[in-house]
Amino acid sequence: MEAFLGELQKNLVRVVGNFTRLGIGLMFGLLLVRLQLSFGQDAFSIIILLGTTVGYLRIFPDIIQHAVIAELSRAYHSEDRHDMSRAFAAAGRVSALIGLTILTAVSGFALVVDQVFNIPVELLGATRYLTVCIGIQTMSIALFAPCYKILEILERFTEVNFWHMALKLSFLFAAGLVLLFVEGSQERFIICYGTLSTLFFGTVMVSIMLRAMHLLPHATFFRRDFCRDAAKRMLRTGVWNTVSNVSMVSQVVFGAFMANRFFGIHANGMYGLAIQLGGYVRMCCGGLAYGLDSIAARVLLVGKSSRRNQLIEVSTAAHAWAVLTLFPMMVLFPQEILTEWIGPQSKNPQFDYAMTANLIRLFAFGAMFHGISDAWDKILIGAGRVASYARLQLGITILAIPLSLAIALKGPEGLRFFSLSFPYTLFYPLFGLWVFPWLLSLWTQQRRWTMYRPLFKTFAVTLLPVSILFLAGLALPAEGLGLLLLAVLFGTFHVLSSGFLLVPKQYRRMGFDFLMGLRSRFGGSAAE
């Protein structure tokens, strides 16, 4: 019981802190878009275009973080300071290599950006400058990735969330200062925004490094006798993490690139709005996924197969429940939410709200599956078994992109625009829902049905809240206060299902016995 309560306390701190961060981050993201729209329609579309293409190079720092987690966790839990110091130095070498490679690649891309995208001539210089700024930000994430992971390995999740919010604020502050103090053209807005956001972002990253060095003084980047074997294992893991992440990101970048080539820069604005709103569905489970690889590494290092299987079951149910917190709202009321966010259609005539709303529905569906599969991905990363997962992701992506392109070129006119999102929103979920549980069943030596069981259970319990939301939507106006009331109504019923879904039966029984024991104890004392 004590072990369960201790583990529960650790995970509650992690999850509550993560969800607090995500909630605040959601508000920051919504506000940031409103501020960026004030730069001008072309400037906003360029920022969105670069964010959904070049911006996805930030997966490579994430790859480094995932690659080093197993080695750093093993070294830390061995309680050998010398081993930890050598492993950290190895992680630093790998991070520096990736960081410099990223900056070189982005700088080269900036020179040919006009050959790749349709960019207004008067904004070409600003676009190149912002591309380099994104490269510098991405390089800093890669360089200091081991420091960020040190905080997670120490399970200082509250502090991790604080630093994550500071990084988010760097963009919000930059946009606010540009609107307050900068006057002139859209080109000037883009250049000043890139400069300030990079300056603030870099300051936060250096602060994270100093904090990690304070917590672990024996961890240093500059140790000569770093562990070469650990560095090789990190690079080997990093290769498969690269395959995994590039496969996933290619699905979104493909759509953004083809939307720009086929439909122009304003199509990227619509595409970016749909990605962000639909992506909030996946963000709902980010509070559960973030840090799960560290937890999985510890559980698999010291635990038994029963704890591994329990972790998979509970995490799958929790992620499914989390994405269903927002998915029904995005499917039933996407255009209403879009209007409340950026204003009416008359204010943004270059965007087709009806088409954007359908695109939001598609991205919400894709994000729902990606959110669920994040649980499986993180556990496999913590177990150091990412290679088999990455191969399947690559295979699905190689199949999905040509199919989507064929529909865009030869399919019905009504599907051309939407088909560009199909690698992420349709093919990946449909294929992945079959192959990933199969992979987990092979690893755990359980029947595939065992992997689906928490999903079916979660969807079944959520049918009632979704039905209530649908019926209430017929009675209440889905705008302003009415939309808020619908969200609160659905959220209330949805939250009530969490105890039944997310707590294993034996622990629910333990909790019930604990409450009954308290009742008899205090009841007996009162009777005396």
Q: What is the pLDDT of residues 22-75, one digit of tens each?
A: 677 778 888 888 898 889 888 988 988 888 777 767 766 666 666 676 677 777
Say if residues 71 and 234 touch (Cβ distance below 8 Å).
yes
84-94: average pLDDT = 81
Instruction: Kindly tell me the burial class for residue 442, based on how many C-beta atoms sit within 10 Å of its own C-beta (0-12, 13-18, 19 or more).
Output: exposed
Among residues 33, 22, 117, the alpha carbon closest in space to that of 323 is found at: 22
Q: Is the dihedral of CA 130, 132, 135, 140 positive or negative?
A: negative
pLDDT(173) > 90: yes
Q: What is the pLDDT of residues 309-353, one digit of tens each?
A: 888 888 888 888 888 888 888 888 888 888 888 888 888 888 888
Among residues 48, 71, 436, the alpha carbon closest in space to that of 253 is found at: 48
**CA gap 65, 142 in Å, rounded:** 8
- Candidate ranges 119-133, 430-444, 453-467, 471-485; pick with highest mean pLDDT: 119-133
- What pLDDT is stored for residue 5 in this prediction? 47
Phi, psi of 78 (to 5 degrees): -75, -15
CA angle, residues 36, 148, 231, in degrees to nearest 5: 125
Query: CA 388 → CA 26, 86, 185, 244, 443, distances in Å?
Result: 33, 29, 50, 10, 10
**CA gap 128, 134 in Å, rounded:** 10
Say if residues 142 and 63 touch (Cβ distance below 8 Å).
no
Tokens of 430: 């449909």
**CA gap 469, 212 in Å, rounded:** 46
Q: What is the pLDDT of residues 485-503, one digit of tens each?
A: 777 777 777 777 665 655 5
Say if residues 375 and 289 touch (Cβ distance below 8 Å).
yes
Among residues 292, 286, 282, the alpha carbon closest in space to that of 66 is found at: 292
Q: What mean pLDDT is reported for the chain?
A: 79
DSSP string, 447-493: -HHHHHHHHHHHHHHHHHHHHHHHHHHHHS-SSTHHHHHHHHHHHHH
Of the chain, the end-to-end C-alpha distance in Å amounts to 29
**CA gap 204, 210 in Å, rounded:** 10
CA angle, residues 372, 490, 371, in degrees to nearest 5: 10
- What pLDDT is stored for residue 526 in this prediction? 42
Instruction: Kindly tell me the burial class for residue 339, based on how many C-beta atoms sit within 10 Å of its own C-beta (0-12, 13-18, 19 or more).
Output: buried
Alpha helices in 122-227 (DSSP H): 124-143, 145-153, 157-181, 186-215
Tokens of 161: 């969330």
Q: Is 446 left (phi over 0), alpha (psi -120 to 50) or beta?
A: beta
- What pLDDT is stored for residue 490 in this prediction? 76
479-488: average pLDDT = 74
CA angle, residues 258, 240, 68, in degrees to nearest 5: 115
78-100: average pLDDT = 79
Instruction: Kindly tell me the burial class for residue 140, based on how many C-beta atoms sit within 10 Å of its own C-beta (0-12, 13-18, 19 or more).
Output: buried
Tokens of 290: 């973030």
Integer-rounded Cα Rg, in Å, for the chain is: 24
Among residues 372, 291, 268, 273, the alpha carbon closest in space to that of 327 is found at: 372
Q: Name the band, by pLDDT with cuts 50, 70 and 90, for residue 455.
A: confident
Q: What is the pLDDT of residues 252-298, one digit of tens each?
A: 888 888 888 788 778 888 888 888 888 888 887 766 666 676 677 66
